[in-house]
Amino acid sequence: MPSSSVAIRTTGRRSVLAALLILPALATVLWNQPAPAQEAPVEIPPPAADLTEQGSSATAIFAGGCFWGVQGVFQHVNGVTRAVSGYSGGAADTATYEQTGSGTTGHAEAVEVTYDPSVVSYGDLLQIYFSVAHNPTQLNYQGPDHGTQYRSTIFPVSDEQAEIARAYIAQLDATGLFEGPIVTTIEPFEAFYTAEQYHQDFLTLNPTWPYIVFHDLPKIAALKQLFPDAYRDEPVLVGTL
């Protein structure tokens, strides 16, 4: 493989994004080179304990690698009324794509999920997060994307969410269904910062981009297959098409 191909492939999505913006034809050729198969989702049981939430709206925040795919998955879940890509874990003045990409800001690429608890529970969202939205056994990376900004992290917005998430991680580790121990961290929630507009609805708006085709569309297919009752064909979008 040419050295230029290695450089783009091993530095992950950020390099591919830059290449696609500057040299789309070249980047497409490079991404069509042979690559490892997309990891299969893991069929897992629901949480043994769940939240009983009142009202018609609640919020959960998940980080699991590139926010394009995580946002795309939750946008296809019944009961989710909004899913926004953004940053959490660091300060407001470093909540940008370029700064977060350095891996030194404390931010993780995250998705703020707003949902109707009468339709989908926090436990349901956790099950989808661990099963199809990302691989929770990969420490500080997801597929080709490496760095702490791609870590597997839950930012609970309440003590109750934190308790349910911790219990579920222990439950899943005990099943032995994953290829290794779950490395997902539970970090104190301080703030969520919305990402730049060009990152919003990225999966829906760019369904033929090689990165989306290879890494993210299989997640949508897995959601439909493993969670047919939770799946919605039309995604709930941040913007309008």
d(CA 46, CA 150): 25
What does the pLDDT average to over 219-230? Answer: 98
Do 129 and 210 fall within a single domain?
Answer: yes
In a domain, 123, yes or no: yes
Non-local CB neighbours of 84 within 8 Å, separated by 6+ positions: 71, 111, 112, 192, 194, 195, 200, 238
In a domain, 11, yes or no: yes
Do 26 and 57 fall within a single domain?
Answer: no
Do 217 and 140 fall within a single domain?
Answer: yes
User: Residue 165: helix, strand or coil by DSSP?
Assistant: helix
In a domain, 199, yes or no: yes
Do 102 and 21 fall within a single domain?
Answer: no
**Which of the pair, 207 or 5, is modelled with greater confidence?**
207
Do 76 and 19 fall within a single domain?
Answer: no
Do 85 and 143 fall within a single domain?
Answer: yes
d(CA 87, CA 195): 7
d(CA 47, CA 127): 7
Q: Which range among 2-6, 83-87, 146-150, 161-165 shows the weakest confidence by mean pLDDT? A: 2-6
Do 133 and 17 fall within a single domain?
Answer: no
Q: What is the pLDDT of residue 40?
A: 82
Non-local CB neighbours of 105 within 8 Å, separated by 6+ positions: 87, 89, 90, 91, 94, 95, 99, 149
In a domain, 96, yes or no: yes
When pLDDT is cut at 50, 70 and 90, the band that residue 107 belongs to is very high
Pairing of strands 80-88, 145-146: unpaired
What does the pLDDT average to over 86-97? Answer: 98
Catalytic residues: 66
In a domain, 172, yes or no: yes
Do 105 and 150 fall within a single domain?
Answer: yes
Q: What is the pLDDT of residue 70?
A: 98
What's the CATH number where 81 sits? 3.30.1060.10
Q: Which range among 23-27, 66-70, 151-155 shows the weakest confidence by mean pLDDT? A: 23-27
Q: How many domains does the chain have?
A: 2
Do 159 and 65 fall within a single domain?
Answer: yes
In a domain, 46, yes or no: no
pLDDT digits over 113-158, tens only?
Answer: 999 999 999 999 999 999 999 999 999 999 999 999 999 999 999 9
Domain housing 25: 1-35
Q: What is the pLDDT of residue 29?
A: 36
- Cβ-contact 115, 58 below 8 angstroms: yes
Mean pLDDT of the chain: 88
Do 128 and 199 fall within a single domain?
Answer: yes
Do 126 and 184 fall within a single domain?
Answer: yes
In a domain, 70, yes or no: yes
Do 79 and 186 fall within a single domain?
Answer: yes
In a domain, 231, yes or no: no
